[in-house]
Structure 1
Amino acid sequence: MLEKRLLIKVVKPAGCYRVYRDMNLNEHHKTSVADRIPMGQKVAYGLGGIVPIALANIVYMLMGIIGNISLGLSALVLGLVMAVPRLWDAFTDPMMGYISDNTRSSAGRRRPYVLWGGIAVCIAFVLLWWIPKGEGASAWVQFGYILLLLIMFYTAVTVFEIPHGALGMEMTADYHERTRLFAAKSFIGNMGAMATPWLYGLAQLDLFKGAGGNASDGMRYVSLIVAIIVLPCIIICYKVCREGKLEQVKEQERVPFRENIGVTFRNKTFLLLVAIIFMVIMGFNFVGNFANYITIFYLYGGDQVSAAKLMGVTGTVWAVTSLVAIPPMNWISARVGKTLTMLVSISLMAGGQLTKIWCYNPEHPYLILIPTAMLSAGMVMYFTLASAMVADVCDEDELHTGNRNEGAYYSIFWWFMKLGMAFAGIVAGALLLVSDFDDKQSSMVDAVSGPVRELKAGFEKDAEMPSAADVTEKISISIKQNQALADHFRAMQEKVPSDAEHYAELLEGVERIDAGLQSIYTGAEEFTKVCDSVLSKALEVSRQSVRTVNHLRIFEIGIPILLSVMSFIAMRLYPLSEKRVYEIKAELDRRKETASND
């Protein structure tokens, strides 16, 4: 069905034909009733978006911070460990796409995997955070545990998400309705992602971590709450969603794995789309967690508790903006097409990055909410449209091959993205190394302050002075850990001569902590005051060097801008305009009508 509209005439400079192609259409299509998806199914499908958007984001964002800052694990080795499961995905994603495309069951070829894959995701997510701690758990034991559970988690995500993504591609054949469906996925998925930064704050609460613990302890229990919330969403998605084209694929012959996957690598339109999206994903994943490092160590000088509050607010603003941006995205895309809407989204992301030059301000830390909103709006538009555009490519593929291969295309699309993420994780660790980020510092400071926090919490709870034996035991641990911290700072002073002055200041802070620990045996009236003084001094030695933080800021701002500009330029070459997609749809409908008459 066509809807006639009067469009503003656009003057096209030479060489800009492809950018403005969709804008010059004098015919825009209105979705027919037959192609519309019931609202209940849109909501149910969107609930499934919580797994790839929220849960996977939680793991990606928090594992690096907790492993590096709370457990003191090497950023470079942790980056390598987190890259391995993405390389594993390079095998499992195409295989899952092939399995799903060739499944023939009474429940369909997508839905069974949505159910069982989703259950496995919830189980693996909880187990992931129970990282061994204590004297018997060396760093290599912790790395091994994280690696094993990450492989389990991401394999489960693959079993769920590849069929779930393919399911969305075949629920409607309409250009605009696909955008609306994947917009529902983004909308609800980002509602779940709204909680991600607050989880770090929750994990810092004594209720979850205990008085002497840290975020790694708290996440063990926070993850249980998350899984309990997510599981019903997965079941609803399985129960309510209905697969499209079931009758068509019953007659479709099963094809060998190599042929099923090979068709995607021969599709030039698909490869161009992959390149466009790949550049932006790489740009932001190279520096994925750096914004959190900058918040903790630049805006708040190493104060993780205060930083966690801003991170929570930032995450909420991100999620709310994502929700608010989806209706305008649908409106813009329906009027100017996906191509120009993609260019708008890239511009928003690049502009948001530029504003960070001024908005990373320790005196006014909440200025960071400005680029947060711009980036959120740009990204939700960008990645929602990307999934809908892969579905358009599947129609073009059917025109040439006669087969529906949504599983293959969706899996290979994410195969490229996950390979990029794996490489980006390694690069991010290398960039932290180049910046001389001290990955042992925060966990060692926690080891000093932890026993003091326990004594203070016990005093406030019982309203009486801890026993002399308890005070002696815990303060002895803190003194020992403080000496280890001093040795570490001296070693770093020699290792990084350019930061020698910084570490000299930290060593003076260590001496003040030692003096405070020695005076902890004062009377009950001064006990809380002395403990607060020691904890305050411990916070002062949590600072990273100015040079390190400045390097992080340069990397975090500059790299995404560069690759976003490259993606913008490549987007001009994309050939599937709204007009072309509807021409393909009309030809496919004509073929089906002819086949049914025969």
Structure 2
Amino acid sequence: MIRHPVHVTAPEDRVPTRQKIAYGLGAVVTIVAVNSVVQLTNLVYIVGLGVSAIWIGWAQAFPRLWDAIIDPFLGNMSDNARTRYGRRIPFLVVGGVLIGIAFALLWTVPRDWSKEWMFGYFVVTSLFFYTVVPIYAIPHGALGMEMTDDYHEKTTIFAYASFIGNVGALTLPWVYFLANRPVFHGDTVNGIKWVCLGMAVILTAAALACAFICKEGKLKQASTQPRIPILQGFKTTYRNRTFVRLVSAFVLLIVAFQLVMGFNNYITIFYIFGGNTDNASKIMAYNGTLWAIVGILGAFPMTWLSKRYGKRHTVMAALLIIVVGNLSKIVCYSPTYPFLTLIPTVCLSLGMVIAFSLVNAMIADICDEDELASGCRREGIYFAVYNWWWKVAVSIATVLSGYLQRLTGFVEGANAQSAATLFWLRAWEIGLPPALCLISVWLMVKYPLTEARAYEIKALLKARARSA
């Protein structure tokens, strides 16, 4: 990697620490809520309640497709909003309250219903959840992109979001552990319900803190620009080759792991611990906590590497760390030495936090490039289209994951799985993600928006503003 001269952010481009912390608290909402649903759905509905994995795969896919459909509309709506409180803040308030309600409802499924009705309950509540999440998430992402004009300060803002968001993520691995404590008398599903009710209250409080403390950076400029039709916004993003290359690389990364989502839990429970959920829950809690700790600490090397080598090289390094970490599971999935699973956890968490923290800062740079070409600020539509692409891909991958799981011979609700099933679970979970990640590395090799180009764009925009 080629080292760049370290840039010093101008005082006028610095965002107050108080706002960075508040923005990070806002990131907790989507990180914890969405990842909790992803991680707990299979454990509650498949393992705990015995609902078909294929049914749940479809039930997870349809709401995410709906979520993807409404993302661009919400992004465009936020870009075009002209309220006295700004383009982003009103959405954060409404969305934050609704996320808390929807998150709590997901886990209150009536236990005396048939599996078909439980499936229907999950479809309805998850559809509600994935409807309200983008009301909050899209304006929140757009807000972070417009809080500063500086290339590295953008990275710092999302480093705060990553750091604080992953502090919140420390709760995720312990939900399953707490739900298995004696106070719930061995009823894991009931335990998850009550733990998640408490989490719902905390998530809403974090969303409101973000809304009331953070300040929009482009509010004055946006208030004078014409409203942009949604189709025009769509066309702009698809014609931007830099954006398309970036999105393609990250969609592949997301799909790589979504296709085998949940396989690692099954491998831990049935292969490493032979179906002993109590012991499995402990190692899952340790791994999840380590994942969150590395995710927290990963914000520091991410910022350091990005400032010295640029965002593109840092993302490429992160992708290679992910590849190596996942392949290490060949050795680290060991019934004899279960704590070896901590090794791939470190690699995957570090790589993921660096990559997914930087992608938002890179989209912010693309928005500056777009403003230079069009004269308009539209962070909302760019962030929404990025989300649209990966959500569509995740929805398709989620359905395929259910069939892939069935292909391994996995039996829902069983206390043990066959040796052949456990082999194929490991084969797919270890081999598929690295293959797709290497394609992402190839796409990033010629990513054109360098640090030098970003500062050139910033200078041109400032010159234009002075002459206006």
In the superposition, the TM-score normalised over structure 1's length comes to: 0.77
User: d(CA) in 1 for partners of 2:358 and 2:218?
Assistant: 22
* Deviations, residues 140-175 of structure 1 (Å, cap 9, x unaligned): 211111011111111111000000000000001111
Structure 1 residue 231: Cα displacement: 2.2
* Deviations, residues 402-441 of structure 1 (Å, cap 9, x unaligned): 1001000000000001111111111111111000101032
Q: Does 1:233 align with 2:106?
A: no
Q: 1:395 pairs with 368, 379, 392, which one?
A: 368
User: d(CA) in 1 for partners of 2:347 and 2:450?
Assistant: 26
Residues 117 and 157, structure 1, Cα contact 8 Å, conserved in 2: yes
1:437 aligned partner? 410
Q: Does 1:547 align with 2:420?
A: yes
Residues 53 and 186, structure 1, Cα contact 8 Å, conserved in 2: no
Structure 1 residue 218: Cα displacement: 1.4
Give the total of aligned pairs: 468
1:558 aligned partner? 431
Q: Does 1:185 align with 2:161?
A: yes
Tell me, what secondary structure is at the counterpart of 2:110? Answer: coil
1:360 aligned partner? 333
Residues 29 and 206, structure 2, Cα contact 8 Å, conserved in 1: no
User: d(CA) in 2 for partners of 1:415 and 1:591?
Assistant: 32
Q: 1:588 pairs with 443, 446, 461, which one?
A: 461
Structure 1 residue 380: Cα displacement: 0.1
2:345 aligned partner? 372
1:221 aligned partner? 194
Q: 1:404 pairs with 359, 377, 399, which one?
A: 377
User: d(CA) in 1 for partners of 2:7 and 2:369?
Assistant: 18
Structure 1 residue 24: Cα displacement: 6.0
Larger radius of gyration: 1
Return the letter of the residue paired with 2:461: L
2:85 aligned partner? 107
Q: 1:277 pairs with 250, 257, 263, which one?
A: 250
Return the letter of the residue paired with 2:352: M
- The answer to which structure, 1 or 2, has the higher relative contact order (CA under 8 A, 6+ apart) is 2
User: d(CA) in 2 for partners of 1:388 and 1:259?
Assistant: 23
User: d(CA) in 1 for partners of 2:259 and 2:170?
Assistant: 22
User: d(CA) in 1 for partners of 2:393 and 2:228?
Assistant: 28
User: d(CA) in 2 for partners of 1:90 and 1:123?
Assistant: 21
1:490 aligned partner? none
Structure 1 residue 571: Cα displacement: 0.6
Q: Does 1:81 align with 2:59?
A: yes
Q: 1:310 pairs with 270, 276, 283, which one?
A: 283
Return the letter of the residue paired with 2:192: M
* Deviations, residues 53-108 of structure 1 (Å, cap 9, x unaligned): 11110001111221110011111111011000111012210010011001011111
Residues 89 and 418, structure 1, Cα contact 8 Å, conserved in 2: yes
User: d(CA) in 1 for partners of 2:400 and 2:195?
Assistant: 29
Residues 3 and 308, structure 2, Cα contact 8 Å, conserved in 1: no
Kindly report which structure 2 residues correspond to 1:506-521, keeping only aligned pairs within 5 A, or say none.
none
Structure 1 residue 245: Cα displacement: 1.2
Residues 99 and 204, structure 2, Cα contact 8 Å, conserved in 1: no
User: d(CA) in 2 for partners of 1:290 and 1:319?
Assistant: 19
Q: 1:333 pairs with 283, 288, 306, which one?
A: 306
Tell me, what secondary structure is at the counterpart of 1:194? Answer: helix
Tell me, what secondary structure is at the counterpart of 1:131? Answer: coil
2:152 aligned partner? 176
* Deviations, residues 370-407 of structure 1 (Å, cap 9, x unaligned): 11011100000000011110111101111111100100
User: d(CA) in 2 for partners of 1:206 and 1:24?
Assistant: 54
Return the letter of the residue paired with 2:436: L
In the superposition, the TM-score normalised over structure 2's length comes to: 0.98
1:202 aligned partner? 178
Return the letter of the residue paired with 2:78: S
Residues 51 and 157, structure 1, Cα contact 8 Å, conserved in 2: no
Q: 1:131 pairs with 78, 101, 109, which one?
A: 109
* Deviations, residues 196-249 of structure 1 (Å, cap 9, x unaligned): 111011112232x3x3x5322211111111112222211211111000111101
User: d(CA) in 2 for partners of 1:87 and 1:229?
Assistant: 27
Q: 2:320 pairs with 329, 347, 352, which one?
A: 347
Return the letter of the residue paired with 1:216: V
Kindly report which structure 2 residues correspond to 1:530-541, keeping only aligned pairs within 5 A, or say none.
none
